């Protein structure tokens, strides 16, 4: 099957410095792919390139067979930024109703998305009054409204409690089994075992692309965090 | 463009403003308060009150919409909601038109209230239908909004955005003819005033206040105000980038 996301020789310069140095990677459809690496390694930059908001120096980024950021992709790709992007002065429901109108989703969809991220009881609360974790869920809910084929989630579970994290990861798995492609970044490794495939990054380069089990057996570590440390500490 | 996305954006901006009742009260109340104050200050000078009052009434919306829009837009940029919108199926024109619709409606409300106070209570008298004054006030509001939209791209913080008000608006107030007739200014200042949009906004209101006939000059004024509004909106659209560094 053709990859959902196909990146060839991607170079990105930010603030005058090269941040991505020739990334080549493909993301398979219908899977949860984890994008892991230390903070500052370029995960957000790579995700911005995939959703088409990053100015890139060279290389190609194709998503679902089209160039990243092309208008035909906008209804099909959902993006959750690392910092929750919501209207702080609107209620949860008002936020969702606005984005739903843009995505062409109806009120029922708003309700079901609210339920999926466990925000139904807070629907009429003004976002400013929410905790960081609750606000992150509003941001996530927004990206789910249009039932996108590709979901790009930048550290969606940071600051959430373990129960909620487990529920969200279960939701990610369900979305993937219903055919969506998910790319989820994290700088903590304990979520890696939830992924079908892992992309490990360091300093703007891909270190490894493999399944969690393959990574474990190759490094001889049962703990994925240890396995990753082993990989990034050996000379590139 | 899609009407759905435009209307949704207008509705969202109005929701945001409604969530902030104090701002609404200030937007609607301050112009009327200023008209009262002007009346008190010019107690014995009824003629002066007439020919300052009407232009001021019509220029208020320009100033307040400039401020409100530049802050709202700056927040849209700095909180990441603009970036999110740019990944969604909405065109830049929808965003801009939505803003225009929301602030235009607010300007109608603002203009209607201050006109009711000025013409109804304080004895302003315009020679011409009050609707003409409200119409000019709304056009000026949209001018202020579009200037605020495009200039907000230059501000990094809300402090900076607020300072654009004295930097952009005050010189225009001094030069537009409200304080000193433009023909009495030095040729250099007069030449500068010729290229400032508020000059035309003021001129139209001044004619409504003082001339018995609304000649072709008013039409020219309105065309200039609308023209500058459209140019500023186009510049604003250029500052809404889908891709950034
Ligand atoms: N807006 C920006 N301007 C300039 N440099 C940036 C900007 N954002 C990030 N960078 C730099 O790009 C590199 C990668 O950042 P980022 O993609 O955010 O990493 P990560 O998401 O993995 O933490 C870092 O060195 C960071 O300092
Ligand atoms: Mg990041």
pTM of the model: 0.89
Q: What is the pLDDT of residues B107-155, one digit of tens each?
A: 889 989 999 999 999 989 888 898 999 899 999 999 999 999 889 888 8
Helical residues (DSSP H) of B19-157, grouped into ranges: 21-41, 46-78, 81-86, 92-115, 130-151
Q: How far apart are the C-alpha atoms of B128 and B40, rounded to whole Å? A: 24
Spatial distance between the Cα atoms of A6 and B93, rounded to a whole number of angstroms: 31
Q: What is the predicted ipTM?
A: 0.88
Contact B9 A98 (CB under 8 A): yes
CA distance A145 to chain B (A): 11
Say if the Cβ atoms of B80 and A83 lie within 8 Å.
Answer: yes
Q: Which ligand is nearest to the CA of A40?
A: 1
Structure tokens at A35: 């994008």
CA-to-CA dists, residue A12 to A23, A26, A205, angstroms = 9, 17, 11
Average pLDDT over residues A179-199: 90
Q: Do B15 and A94 touch (CB under 8 A)?
A: yes
Pair B236, B143: CB distance under 8 Å: no
What is the residue extent of each domain of chain B? 3-238
B208 close to B54: Cβ distance less than 8 angstroms: yes
Instruction: Give B113's contacts (C-beta < 8 A, 6+ positions apart).
Output: B28, B31, B32
Find, among B90, B72, B22, B79, the residue nearest to A127 by Cα: B79
Which member of B7, B20, B90 has the closest CB to residue A89? B20
Cα-flanking dihedrals φ and ψ of residue A68, to 5°?
-55, 135
Nearest C-alpha neighbor of B127 from the set B217, B58, B208 = B208
pLDDT at A235: 61
B145, B116, B158, B110: which is closest to B235 by C-alpha? B145
Q: Does residue B181 sit in helix, strand or coil?
A: coil
Return the pLDDT at A148.
94
Q: Which residues are found with C-beta within 5 Å of the ion, ligand 2?
A: A 43-44, 82
Q: Which two tokens stand for residue B154?
A: 């230059």
Residue ranges for chain B with pLDDT beneath 70: none
Q: What is the DSSP letter of A3?
A: -
3-state DSSP: chain A helix, strand, coil percent, rounded to 5?
40, 25, 35
Percent of chain B with pLDDT over 70: 100
Predicted local distance difference test score (pLDDT) of residue B154: 87
**C-alpha to C-alpha distances, A174 to A116, A177, B163, nearest whole angstrom:** 11, 5, 50
3-state secondary structure at position A35: strand
Contact across the interface for A102 and B79, Cβ inside 8 Å: no
Hey, is the C-beta of B12 within 8 angstroms of any chain A C-beta? yes
Give the ligand 1 atom nearest the CA of A17. Answer: 5
Regarding beta strands A32-36 and A58-63, do their DSSP bridges make them parallel or antiparallel, or are they unpaired? unpaired
The SS3 call for residue A213 is helix
- Distance from B80 to chain A by nearest Cα, in Å? 5
pLDDT in tens, A113-172: 999 898 999 999 999 999 988 998 999 999 999 999 999 999 998 878 888 888 889 999
Burial letters for A152-166: b for 16+ Cβ neighbours within 10 Å, e otherwise? bbbbbbeebeeebbe
Non-local CB neighbours of B12 within 8 Å, separated by 6+ positions: A87, A90, A94, A98, B98
């Amino acid at each position: 099957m053709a990859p959902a996301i196909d990146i060839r020789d991607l170079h990105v310069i930010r603030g005058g410095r090269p941040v991505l140095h020739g990334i080549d990677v493909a993301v398979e459809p219908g899977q949860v792919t984890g994008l892991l690496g230390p903070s500052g390694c370029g995960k957000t930059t790579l995700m911005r390139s995939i959703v088409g908001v990053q100015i890139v120096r060279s290389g190609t980024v194709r998503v679902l067979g089209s160039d990243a950021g092309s208008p035909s992709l906008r209804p099909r790709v959902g993006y959750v930024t690392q910092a929750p992007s919501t209207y702080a002065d609107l209620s949860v429901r008002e936020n969702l109703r606005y984005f739903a109108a843009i995505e062409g989703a109806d009120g029922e969809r708003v309700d079901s998305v609210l339920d999926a991220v466990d925000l139904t009881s807070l629907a009429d609360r003004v976002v400013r009054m929410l905790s960081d974790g609750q606000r992150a869920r509003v941001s996530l809910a927004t990206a789910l409204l249009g039932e996108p084929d590709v979901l790009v989630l930048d550290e969606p579970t940071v600051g959430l409690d373990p129960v909620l994290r487990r529920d969200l990861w279960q939701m990610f798995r369900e979305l993937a089994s219903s055919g969506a492609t998910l790319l989820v970044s994290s700088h903590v490794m304990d979520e890696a075992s939830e992924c079908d495939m892992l992309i490990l990054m360091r300093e703007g380069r891909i270190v490894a692309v493999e399944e969690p089990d393959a990574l474990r057996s190759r490094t001889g570590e049962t703990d994925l965090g240890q396995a990753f440390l082993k990989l990034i500490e050996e000379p590139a | 463009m899609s009407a759905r996305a435009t209307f949704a954006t207008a509705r969202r901006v109005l929701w945001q403003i409604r969530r902030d009742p104090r701002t609404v009260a200030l937007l609607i109340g301050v112009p009327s308060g200023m008209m009262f104050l002007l009346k008190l200050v010019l107690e014995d000078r009824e003629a002066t009150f007439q020919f300052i009052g009407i232009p001021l009434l019509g220029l208020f919306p320009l100033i307040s919409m400039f401020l409100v829009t530049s802050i709202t837009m700056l927040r849209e940029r700095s909180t990441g909601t603009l970036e999110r919108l740019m990944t969604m199926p909405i065109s830049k024109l929808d965003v801009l038109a939505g803003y225009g619709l929301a602030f235009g409606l607010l300007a109608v409300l603002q203009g209607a209230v201050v006109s009711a106070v000025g013409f109804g209570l304080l004895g302003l008298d315009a020679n011409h239908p009050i609707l003409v004054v409200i119409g000019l006030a709304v056009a000026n509001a949209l001018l202020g909004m579009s200037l605020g939209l495009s200039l907000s791209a230059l501000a990094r913080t809300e402090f900076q955005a607020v300072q654009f008000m004295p930097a952009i608006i005050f010189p225009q107030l001094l030069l537009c003819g409200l304080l000193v007739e433009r023909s009495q200014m030095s040729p250099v200042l007069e030449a500068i005033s010729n290229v400032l949009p508020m000059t035309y906004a003021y001129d139209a209101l001044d004619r409504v206040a003082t001339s018995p006939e609304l000649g072709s000059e008013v039409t020219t004024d309105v065309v200039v105000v609308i023209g500058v509004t459209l140019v500023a909106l186009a510049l604003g659209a250029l500052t809404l980038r889908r891709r950034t560094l």
